[in-house]
Structure 1
Amino acid sequence: MYPVDLLPDVDYTDQTCASEQYLSSLEARTHGGNEWFQTSGHSKVEVTQSNVSRLQLFGDDQPDCRLLVLHPPDDLTQVLALYLHGKWWSVDDVLRTSNKSRTGLVLVQSVMERVILFLLNQLVEKLPEEETLFRPHTRTEHGKLLWRDGEAVGFYTVKQKGSLCDGWTGQGYLLPVLDTVLVRGCQRRHGLGLQMLEDFCSSFPGEEVLGISSPLSPGMVAVCRRFLQQQEKHREHLYEVEAPGGWAQRRNIWLNIQLGRYSHGV
């Protein structure tokens, strides 16, 4: 059993309280009373105050939900494990499931699924320098995890029509927008990005126009090109958009592909 399979699932308050209680107990320990975590490489890392830190699960702090993560003593940018369900779990185990019915694209609903989304979004994949890291998602972000062979291998998130663009202007999105898409490096070139784009488009059959957040990465342009070559009916419906997605903030993706604008970095 892995964290996402354990019942009952914790809520955000319980997760934060458990993290803070553990951290307090760690601070109160005397010298020599620390525990050890065994990594997948069979080495052991001592759990101390100096290599345990807090991470905020959501980008908007609503609700407040803090995770404890364990670092190697000599590299605080790397995460070895997370403290969940009262114990330390390796990152690889947090991304796994023993539930055989959890396959394909599954809507993110539980706290542990949110944790997996956070891991994939912020910690697991090291993107090339020219790509921008995704910002942490808000609690209300609509997302789906992609499960394959008992492991979370990707995700996509959507800005729902009517949801707020930010916390200060009061503007809402005028159409559903595919916001972030990620496939783990080891699972790329298997058509999984195409699968997620197809799922996004089929999820809003009543919408005349659908958006993808600007700017499109080279990888996303390649996925869109392949998708629109196969799905001609979406060529007039799929737009690159900037928030909130009015007509002045939309650019037809198929037209821009045909004009070669993406290949020139525009």
Structure 2
Amino acid sequence: MFPADLPDVDETQLTSASRLYLSAVESEPETSRWFHSGHSSKVEIKAANIRQLQLFEEVQNPCVLLGLHPADDPARVVAVYLYDRWWSLDDALRTCSKSRSGLMPVESLVERVMVFLLSQLVDKPSAGEDLFRLHPPTESCKLLWGDGRALGFYSVKHKGSLCNAWSSCCYLLPVLDTLLVRSSCRRRGFGLQMIQDFCSTFPTEAFLGISSPLSASMVAVVRRFLQQHEEHRERLYEVEAPGGWTQRRNIWLNIQLGRYSIGPEEEESPTETRKNEGDESETRKNEGDESSQKVRASICPMMLQELLQNSSASDHSF
């Protein structure tokens, strides 16, 4: 069994167990213990190789998880301490339960630990992308399960929820705040699946947000989604909290106007057919003649109003 399959613990129990174990290791510095992180690699379990990881953003009583790292690379955590033993990151994200499949709400503390591992430790951010901020302990999240392991997650700021712990401002619309698919699982449509799930979760909301700023890879996935789902082109906005009209930018409109740097098609099939080189010059010629028509045709009256307001009220560029 894996941590996700064991009885849940609370924050106090996890923090207490972590600190008791670390204290025991510190009291026996000469005892030799090792964690085997692969077929040929191992890491010594000693106080100098153990980090106390804070699970959530600033809270009054921090919830602590222990992480084990090689002596020569403190930033690379190879195992976490849960249920009185060390687990590799890969095993900590596994499950024996066949009922865990697809997108499922995060409900237990161990599942929140898994969101933490995915967002902070498993995959390093790509060039030009920032590490995710820590989530609040009550963040609304869904884990994506497949093949007996957690493949990714997304989190949502609900309409009416506080923007942060230091102000009374509340979100004015539902906002998809963070989304991640493990690097080994990309180009399989999971990002599209999560955006679709987010949109279908709020069927009565006229407008939905995605937190600003959008990375180039996120823009690529959203563009693919909106190409397939025209009905959401007027719904999805890039949003800065709390999401008033002056803090929203229609994503489809700004894609059409070339205001985003668009990264590789993260969800593109590796076997997708490409244009032949002989067709490219003709394609570029046709695209040059039709591009302005396509932009005008895709701008609805509401988008046009936003464009006019932004051009007169702001010089913000993407």
Q: State the TM bucket, normalised to the shorter chain.
A: over 0.9
**Aligned partners of 2:29 and 2:223: how far apart in 1?**
60
What residue identity is the alignment partner of 1:91?
A: L
- Residue of structure 2 in register with 1:81 after alignment: 79
- Residue of structure 2 in register with 1:36 after alignment: 34
**Aligned partners of 2:44 and 2:82: how far apart in 1?**
18
**Aligned partners of 2:116 and 2:168: how far apart in 1?**
26
What residue identity is the alignment partner of 2:62?
A: D
What secondary structure sits across from 2:255 in the alignment? helix
Bigger radius of gyration, 1 or 2?
2
Give CA deviations for 1:163-201 in whole Å, capped at 9, x if unaligned: 111222210100110011111111111111000000000
- Residue of structure 1 in register with 2:169 after alignment: 171
- Note if 1:90 corresponds to 2:88: yes
- Note if 1:23 corresponds to 2:19: no
**Aligned partners of 2:122 and 2:72: how far apart in 1?**
18
What residue identity is the alignment partner of 2:71?
A: P
Alignment counterpart, residue 51 of structure 2, candidates 42, 53, 60: 53
- Residue of structure 2 in register with 1:255 after alignment: 253
Q: Does structure 1 retain, via aligned residues, the 8 Å contact 2:29–2:46?
A: no
Q: Does structure 2 retain, via aligned residues, the 8 Å contact 1:62–1:138?
A: no
- Residue of structure 2 in register with 1:246 after alignment: 244
What secondary structure sits across from 1:262 in the alignment? coil
Alignment counterpart, residue 140 of structure 2, candidates 139, 142, 152: 142
Task: Give the aligned length.
Answer: 264
**Aligned partners of 1:159 and 1:61: how far apart in 2?**
18
| Alignment TM-score, normalising by the size of structure 2 | 0.80
| Alignment TM-score, normalising by the size of structure 1 | 0.95
What secondary structure sits across from 2:217 in the alignment? helix
Question: Offset of 1:63 from its aligned partner?
Answer: 5.0
Counterparts in 2 of 1:62 and 1:94: CA distance versus 1, 3 Å: farther
**Aligned partners of 2:126 and 2:235: how far apart in 1?**
31
What secondary structure sits across from 2:103 in the alignment? strand
**Aligned partners of 1:76 and 1:233: how far apart in 2?**
47
**Aligned partners of 1:188 and 1:171: how far apart in 2?**
35
The runs of 5 or more residues in structure 1 that have no matched partner are: none
Question: Offset of 1:44 from its aligned partner?
Answer: 2.8
What residue identity is the alignment partner of 2:180?
A: L
Structure 1 residues 196-215: aligned runs within 5 Å: 196-215=194-213
- Residue of structure 1 in register with 2:5 after alignment: 5
What secondary structure sits across from 2:65 in the alignment? strand
- Residue of structure 1 in register with 2:192 after alignment: 194
Q: Does structure 2 retain, via aligned residues, the 8 Å contact 1:62–1:139?
A: no
- Residue of structure 2 in register with 1:225 after alignment: 223
**Aligned partners of 1:67 and 1:80: how far apart in 2?**
13
Q: Does structure 2 retain, via aligned residues, the 8 Å contact 1:13–1:64?
A: no
Percentage of pairs with the same residue? 61
Structure 1 residues 123-162: aligned runs within 5 Å: 123-162=121-160
What residue identity is the alignment partner of 2:127?
A: E
Q: Does structure 2 retain, via aligned residues, the 8 Å contact 1:16–1:65?
A: yes
Counterparts in 2 of 1:137 and 1:62: CA distance versus 1, 3 Å: farther
| Bigger helix share | 2
